[in-house]
Structure 1
Amino acid sequence: MIDPTQSAQRSPAKIQALSEALANQIAAGEVVERPVSVVKELLENALDSGATEIEISIEEGGEKSIQVIDNGSGIAKDELLLAVSRHATSKISSYEDLTQVATLGFRGEALASISSVSRFEIISRQTSEPNAWRLKSDGGAIWPEPEPIAGKSGTRVRVDDLFFNTPARKKFLRVARTEFGHIDEFVKRAMLSRMDISFKLIHNHKVVRHVEAAQTPSDQARRLAKLMGEAFVDQSMHVHYDAQDLTLRGWVGLPTFNRAQTDMQYVFVNGRIVRDRLLFHALKQAYADVLYNGRHPVYVLFLEIPVDQVDVNVHPAKYEVRFANGRWVYDFIRRSVKEAVRQPLTQADALQSDQQAQFESTRPGAFAGQQDSSLSALNSQAYFDFQKPGPDRVEDSSNTYQTQPSNQVDQFASSDGAMPPLGFAKMQLHGVFILAENAQGLILVDMHAAHERIVYERMKQQWQTERLISQPLLVPMVIALDVAHMLAWENHQAWWSQLGFEFEALGPQQLKVTAVPSILAKASIEQLVQDVLADTAAEGDSQRIDEYINSLLSTMACHGSVRANRPLTVAEMNQLLRDMEATPASSQCNHGRPTWVQLSMKQLDALFMRGQ
């Protein structure tokens, strides 16, 4: 054990400048953590060079060899030595450039750091030059002059024996399979981020991934299927939203297509691969209310934002970003994706039809026919007659499903004879499922789950319009707060009032609650207020009250929905189908389970081997 008193008594060491080699190795500790860090830096340089074809060759997980070849603009002979020097770059030249970085790389540290911990070779040629030029190093700080060599236009960088001169770092590397797994995942992200570029990934002389440039929507769909799986393409929707200077586009998975892990969540900011807590939280909130508990959504999304509104100079690895107006970005992403995944079927139908024309693909639940506006008008008349239950009231399961007069139910088809998305009911199966026929084939509906979502959405809408109704407390409640939480209340008093809460300040650290929203009359008010104030103090916002109320409404909707084994007439079943088509997120119940499935004629034919 080291005695700290002995260390303190030592004579102070003289301050001296570090050698260039040692300084580069220290810098490499930030930039080059493992083989995937090398691949990342070299791949970003290739993308910044304007390459349209990139090949990555790996041996033994990257420890033995990493090679990246591109057909980009190349590096001139007289700039090669600068390229491998620290803090030398062609991408920025002033502070103004740093505040609006449009390239993936900009620090000018990568090649110097990589070459200091490996046996390094770079060969590059510009189109205007008759030959390529090569530069080699064995980890030293002294570089020879570039030598001429035959080579194609572009750049080839080879990194051998990574960490050969830093054994302390090398011993922390994992087995080759693990290290290559990290490389494979990063290259996959790069392939998703730049659909316009051809990539090839080779490991131990075997091609692992190869994708051609995808310019058309149909090519992009095929590339997505190759990288994300056919199920992702079949069960996702294309989104494109614009708001002022922000654009969000890409693909979001249907709530019923989800994962146990967050392994299929990809977000790119101005083409840059990021892992941003704010963005992922916004997307998590967008799927709230429609995703099964404990499951995670899937998506591939591209956010485009003015470069002066995002700071990418946060960390040497450049995975983190900081937004000038984080709340603006958060709200835009949450609202956009929430709108997409909660679209009523009558709107999702038109969206999916457009996707089918673009992507030439079909997913379960997609419908071909456009709906007439008269269908929406009739849907707006459909209703389930219920009184808003109080917190201590549970709906009787014997309630009846209200229908329109039979002559209106028969008129749900549009004037041109087009069938509604969920078609028309044929029968009820075992008092649990509704069988319906639509243009594509057979629809199977879980009537309780579907009705549960309909009732839930209507109760939420009713709560939104009546949330100002407050209920005075018979005995006012006094809550002790710390200074930060008291300040959070003072800054959000108007918001609390809109929710139906009434407070009085009794002192610098005490609040008296005199009234609460009627729906929360029996909730644990003190704990709820404490939790919400903690959120607003830390994050400036809180979703707890809405989440609590939604959970309460969900429970009431479950008890207030039609139960299994309750017979429905054909008119009632058709009314339920029409209400589903007009209700947001009706493809999932309140707990995230699917409410209906589509069996196409092709699938039904296959079950009976018809046409084979």
Structure 2
Amino acid sequence: MPIQILPPQLANQIAAGEVVERPASVVKELVENSLDAGATQVQIDIENGGATLIRIRDNGIGIPKQELALALARHATSKIATIDDLEAILSFGFRGEALASISSVSRLTLTSRTAEQQEAWQVFVQGREQESVIKPASHPVGTTVEVANLFFNTPARRKFLRTDKTEFGHIDEVIRRIALAKSHIGFTLTHNGKIIRQYKSAQENTQKLKRLAAICGDDFVRQALHIDWKHDDLHLSGWVATPAFARSQNDLNYCYVNGRMVKDKVINHAIRQAYAEYSGNEQYPAFVLFLDLNPNDVDVNVHPTKHEVRFQQSRLIHDFIFQGVTHALLSAEQLDFSEPQSDAKRANEIREPQAGYKNMTATVRPNRAAAGQNLFGFNPSPTEKESHTPTAAKSSAPSRSEKSSNFLPHFMPQSAHSPSSFGREKASKTEQRLYAELLKTPANQASPTASIQPICASAGSLLRALALVDNRALLLQQDSAFYLLPLNKLQRMRFELMLSAPNPSKQMLLIPVVFRLSDEQLAQWRQQKHWFEQSGFEFTENPAQRRITLNAVPQCLRHQNLQKMVVTLLNQSVQKTSDFLTALLDLTEPTDCQVLANAVNLLQETEQLLNRQSAIKLNDLLIPVDFSSYLS
């Protein structure tokens, strides 16, 4: 047989074999088209499991008369226009194959009206011939697509359909998945004229809670742990169930990337790894998670059904999700799920997952207006670039014993000189040369014991650092007098100076720390939260859940055990600012100084702070050393 180009009808049917697997595939494609059109109400009518009729009606923007026939052609779409659009997909559909594929294996009727038109128009296509007929019709603003006699011209495909109940079950699952991601959109699903599902538009917390409970069940809602995890362009939100809610099958696994439901191995592996220490191999976690990221960093044009995606930084995505879920499970150990919660209380606990990105102005062409704007498509200023230098999340999880004894969160350095884990920026040759010069010690520079001479504020001459004594004190000399300076007291003074500064510098946490408060702790939190804020701590609180979340800490405390520090303070009765500062300082643990240069740097930093705050004197820490008894 010679090489030849396939007829359009045959090519469409081949494409239909990839896109239209069963009636549920048709429903998915058509409902996603409705969402791309900006619909707020979508009605899905099914007859005989979808084999006889599938009707999707929406109140979207509609299709103009002159574009109706074109909408049924292959590779005709309003979602993308250039190859740049393909690299940053914002809509559900973009290939322009769904309607053409569906119409090639069914009798398809498309009726639509735009707000600018006085009347609606209808186009009808039947099977292979693809001969469209356009005529006027009666229809409100929006679109209705009727797919009748699915696979009527491909008997081999039709005989592989299951029972009506089974096929409708797959359709029901598709609507459940879409309704979870689009709580502000109303969905009505009927089967053989009977309303089976009716998800009303959920705008308030109580309504959103009811939708989540209707889809995932009341038990899931009671055991749900809310996640709101952010790092640069990454945002993970949603809910994961406690390990006690583990299931014998993975029927409660809902995962979305930029609002698109996916089945991704990287995401599933990260979640399973986070649950590994809590559940066995035969148990599956339950979760509803939404991952939002820069669309330029994910490729959705991987699989015909768009169920799979490919990440540019798959390892970073894996570690980011793993740490987010791990932290939620760790915080769950403090929670008590034994008491039932009222609907009003849970309404405040469970919120609609939304990305916390800034509202940035982007240029949106008319053909993409319905799909939404690219929130990442902006050019940050140099200041913003420096303050958002990305760093990869750590991938290793602490062991069970480490979690109980050393609960130390990981931190994100915010310096502009932090190495970028994305590998997008490299140091120039000039920067490398300057950095190498910084590492060199000039030939005429003396040793630290002679060259570094801290200045005591009340002394008339210089103090010289001579030696580090047992890694616990500095031996200093002033003229003919010698002194010991305990490093633990010096570090405490440095902490005190930095925490009492007017605007203490902060360090953002990569993994925020969540605290569940008792009645006594809640009362102390109300008393102390202003002092925490003055010292450089940054919390967000949820009074309905009796939870506070630590998002930033004073830079000087970034290596401290923050969990222990906050809990201990909230267990104490503190009545004034000085008592709070004293209690906070008592909880700090000094850092070991094993090198003289590090100890001298600590002294210099403290003296610089003393120059700005003269209320504290360094001389109070000096211990005179008398060598005369050893020399006589």
TM-score category of the 2 structures, normalised to the smaller one? 0.5 to 0.7
Equivalent residue for 2:290, pick from 296, 302, 306: 302
Tell me whether 1:120 sits opposite 2:70 in the alignment.
no
Q: Which structure 2 residues correspond to residues 71-470 of structure 1 after superposition, within 5 A?
A: 71-292=59-280, 294-343=282-331, 346=334, 357=345, 359=347, 457-458=400-401
Comparing 195-204 with 231-240, greater Cα deviation is found at 231-240
Contact 1:20–1:141, Cα closer than 8 Å, also in 2: no
Counterpart selection for 2:30 from 42, 46, 58: 42
What secondary structure is seen at the aligned counterpart in 2 of 1:209? strand
Q: Structure 1 residues 69, 460: CA separation in 2 closer, same or farther (over 3 Å shift)? A: closer
Which string of whole-angstrom CA distances, capped at 9 and with x for unpartnered residues, describes residues 130-155 of structure 1?
A: 11110011113343342111111100
2:9 is matched with 21
CA distance in 1, matches of 2:341, 2:166: 42
User: Which residue is 1:405 aligned to?
Assistant: none
What does residue 62 of structure 1 align with? 50
CA contact (8 A) 1:238 1:355 kept: no
**Residue-pair matches, total:** 361
Q: Which amino acid aligns with 1:37?
A: S
Amino acid at match of 1:174: R
Name the SS for the 1:58 alignment partner. strand
Deviations 1:378-403 (A, max 9, x none): xxxxxxxxxxxxxxxxxxxxxxxxxx
Write the deviation string for residues 77-118 of structure 1: whole angstroms up to 9, x where unpaired.
000111000000001111111010000000000000000000
Change (3 A) 1:113 1:344: closer
Task: Provide the secondary structure at the position in 2 that maps to 1:302.
Answer: strand
Taking the aligned partners of 2:310 and 2:243, their CA distance within structure 1 comes to 29
In structure 1, stretches of 5+ residues that fail to align are 1-12, 363-455, 466-580, 583-612
Distance 2:63 2:161 in 1: 32
Who is 1:443 aligned against?
Answer: none
Q: CA deviation at 1:458?
A: 3.5
Amino acid at match of 2:92: L
RMSD of equivalent CA atoms? 2.6
Aligned residue for 1:140, secondary structure, equals helix
TM-score (normalizing by structure 1): 0.56
Letter in 2 for 1:92: I
Give the residue type in structure 2 aligned to 1:104: F
Give the SS at the match of 1:122.
strand
For residues 283 and 177 of structure 1, the distance between their equivalents in structure 2, rounded to whole angstroms, comes to: 32
Q: Which residue of 2 aligns with 1:414?
A: none
**Preserved CA contact (<8 Å) 2:252 2:287:** yes
Partner of 1:52: 40
CA drift at 1:303: 0.5
Cα distance in 2 for partners of 1:234, 1:141 equals: 54
C-alpha separation in 2, matches of 1:58 and 1:222: 25
Where 2:54 maps in the other structure, the secondary structure is strand
Distance 1:343 1:160, change over 3 A: same
Residues 345-404 of structure 1 show CA distances to partners (whole Å, capped at 9, x for unaligned) of: 55889xx99997561579xxxxxxxxxxxxxxxxxxxxxxxxxxxxxxxxxxxxxxxxxx
Match of 1:240, SS state, is: strand
Could you tell me whether the CA contact under 8 Å between 1:34 and 1:173 is conserved in 2?
yes
Q: Percent identity?
A: 47
Distance 1:314 1:344, change over 3 A: closer
Q: Which moved more, 1:45-54 or 1:135-144?
A: 135-144
Tell me how far apart the structure 1 counterparts of residues 138 and 405 of structure 2 sit (CA, whole Å).
Answer: 74
How has the CA–CA distance of structure 1 residues 278 and 27 changed in structure 2, closer, same or farther, with 3 Å as cutoff?
same
Q: TM-score, normalised by structure 2?
A: 0.54
CA 355–95 in structure 1, closer or farther in 2 if over 3 Å, else same: farther
Which letter maps to 1:206? K
Are 1:30 and 2:18 counterparts? yes
- Aligned mates of 2:332, 2:222 — CA distance in 1: 19
SS of 1:342 mapped into structure 2: helix
* CA pair 77-464 structure 1, distance change in 2 beyond 3 A: closer
1:14 shift after superposition: 2.6
Q: Which residue type is aligned with residue 300 of structure 1?
A: V
Q: 1:459 to 1:233 in 2, by over 3 A?
A: closer
| 2-structure distance, mates of 1:233, 1:324 | 33
